[in-house]
Amino acid sequence: MNKKQVPITHHHFPWDHPRFRSWIAVARACQLMQQTLTRALAELDIKPPHLDILVNLYRFEGITQQELARKLLVGRSNMSMLLPQLEKRGLIERRGDEKDKRVLRLSLTESGRALSEQAMEIQTAIIDKSMEDSPIEECMIVAQAMERLVGILLKDAGDPD
């Protein structure tokens, strides 16, 4: 068994680990997708953060800023900066809650809903094209792996913010 003593590299570089390489690919994909989406949304004069907001207001009408920030994994202050912009453009409305005078309930306006639909079409087109070479089952595996990852990280972080 002298074959056992392979030339020990002793220093395992990260890029030799399969999981590490996987993650690097994920990070690169994410970055590129963000840039591509930014360029594509330019014609609607919005950016990815705005789209994230619009999509969530589309799904969850009457949500509060706090809940929205939690869904988007950003801080409350972030919403305090972005939402007034969208409000000034007439895309969303912020109405104070009757029972809890602290919170502002958010909803899309007519034009906001229309713009959301256009933007979502753009985004969906890009995603579909980017993943057209991957069969659905593989996409599901990707989704599962990423959701497990999110679960682990959220548990460890204790959901700070």
Neighbours of 71 (CB within 10 A): 15
Closest to 86 measured CA to CA, from 52, 60, 114, 112: 112
Interface residue list for DNA (CB under 7 A): 35, 38-39, 47-49, 64-66, 69, 73-85, 94, 99-104, 161
- 81 or 114, CB closer to DNA? 81
**Distance between CA atoms of 45 and 40, rounded to whole angstroms?**
10
| Dihedral, 144, 148, 151, 156 alpha carbons, nearest 10 | -160
Interface residue list for its own copies (CB under 8 A): 13-15, 17-23, 25-33, 35-36, 39, 55, 59, 73, 120, 123-124, 127-134, 136, 138-150, 152-154, 156-157
Binding site partner of 26, from DNA, its own copies, none, Cβ cut-off 5-8 A by kind: its own copies
Tokens 């690169």 locate to 28
Binding site partner of 154, from DNA, its own copies, none, Cβ cut-off 5-8 A by kind: its own copies
- 100 or 147, CB closer to its own copies? 147
CA distances, 151 to each of 89, 124, 146, 154 (Å): 36, 25, 9, 5
Cβ 62 to DNA, closest distance in Å? 11
- Residue 71 tokens, joined: 């869904």
Binding site partner of 76, from its own copies, DNA, none, Cβ cut-off 5-8 A by kind: DNA
Tokens 């959220």 locate to 154
- 73 or 152, CB closer to DNA? 73
Cβ 147 to DNA, closest distance in Å? 20
- 49 or 56, CB closer to DNA? 49
- 3 or 39, CB closer to DNA? 39
Q: Is the CB of residue 100 less than 8 Å from the CB of residue 66?
A: no
φ and ψ of 50, to 5 deg = -65, -40
